Amino acid sequence: MATATFEHFDRLIHECFSECTGVNTTKQSWLQTELSPHRGGLGLRSLSHHSTAAYISSLCNSECASPNHSHLASSIDCFNLSVMSSDTISIESCLLNKPSQHNLSDKLEAYSFSDLFDSMSCAHRARLLSVSSPHAAVWLTVTPSVSLGLHLDPNELHTAIKWWLGLCPYGATDVPTPLCALCPEKALDPLCHHSITCKRGSDVTNRHNRLRNTIFSACQRASLPARLEAGCGLGSSELRTRPADILVTIPKLGVSAGVAAKAAESRKHEQNDTKCSELSWQCNPLAVETYGAWGEEACNAFSCIAMREAILTNCSKSQVLGDLYGRLSIVLVRANARAILARSLQVADMQVDAMDY
């Protein structure tokens, strides 16, 4: 099934992607782009890889399929080489259950994800787990709207895609990365962890405030009596605890997604539960990883907010909840891209100065 025509089409898609985004991918990062957004990819599925799923599904759902169909048998053999052993299929099961192309392609992607994950370093594994977490990739599916603030400018989109795919935005990966212009003792790492979390400059504060304001607006639409930064200064003077803060954390190395967000929620409870209890408050940490994986408590809170707004606006809860995650995702990705760009521009300035000298 993987004919030269399919492979040629895949190359055209690759070339078109590079020309439109200005991003030159590696073999590993291109494999990630071929995954669906819910698995951390960009949804640019390979025609040569998924052609067997399309053929098997189409044939089995027609009147032409039979147990002795040679092309069906060879396609199934080819398909079974590209999936996990638990996901293999047979002619008998296909004729009986008539599988959909969606289900077959999902099996192919599960194997591709596992194979890509196994080929990565620990840092990139943590990144892939985080970008494939629920709601992390919503920014890729949001309908762009400048008037609603649901957009990225070309530079932000270029930077966000490179960061999402684990590509170094500061130049070649085989040369030492430069030092941060705002804190020279820190290097600008290829995965941009320092750029996104550097507290010198206004990027971290701006990101926090924009996420906070987005959630605050959602609470207002749901007619909740929300307050901004309520409780500022609780606890000791050193901690200056803010129970209503939005936590933005780096994904930690782990075997499952959301490890960092869960750890952040636990820390927030340790810092604030006692004082909140004294004030008859309930502490609900809203923690999010840098790639957009929200903690369990945040997801529960958003679900409650969406339910109230859906009742008031006579909209479906799923629509309201999707809109909220979309806004939060765009705000987070845009803020991260701007933080990376701010340091990228300083790197470019230093390189120009060196050339002039």
pLDDT at 66: 82
Beta bridge partners of 287: 247
Task: Please check whether residue 70 is in contact with residue 15, taking contact to mean a CB–CB distance below 8 angstroms.
Answer: no
Threshold 0.75, pTM exceeds: yes
Write out pLDDT tens, residues 274-302: 887 887 777 888 889 999 999 999 999 99
Query: Which of 113, 136, 178, 124 is closest to 295 using CA atoms?
Result: 136
pLDDT at site 251: 63
DSSP 8-state class, residue 79: H
Q: What are the tens digits of pLDDT across the range 122-181?
A: 999 999 999 999 999 999 999 999 999 999 999 999 999 999 999 988 765 555 667 777
Averaged pLDDT for residues 27-41: 96
- Dihedral (Cα; 298, 299, 301, 305), 10-degree rounding: 130
- pLDDT for residue 215 is more than 60: yes
Q: How confident is the model at residue 1 (pLDDT cuts 50, 70, 90)?
A: very low
- pLDDT band at residue 354 using 50, 70 and 90 as cut-offs: very low
pLDDT surpasses 90 at 233:
no
In this predicted structure, the answer to whether residue 350 has a pLDDT above a threshold of 60 is no
Q: Which residues pair with residue 294 across a beta bridge?
A: 288
Antiparallel, parallel or unpaired: β 286-289 and 246-249: parallel
**Can you give the pLDDT at residue 353?**
38
Tokens at residue 222, please? 């749901």
Distance CA 131, CA 185 (A): 29
Q: Which whole number is the average pLDDT over 208-215? A: 92
How confident is the model at residue 352, as a pLDDT? Answer: 35
The predicted-structure confidence for 248-264, as pLDDT tens digits, reads as follows 445 665 556 677 888 88
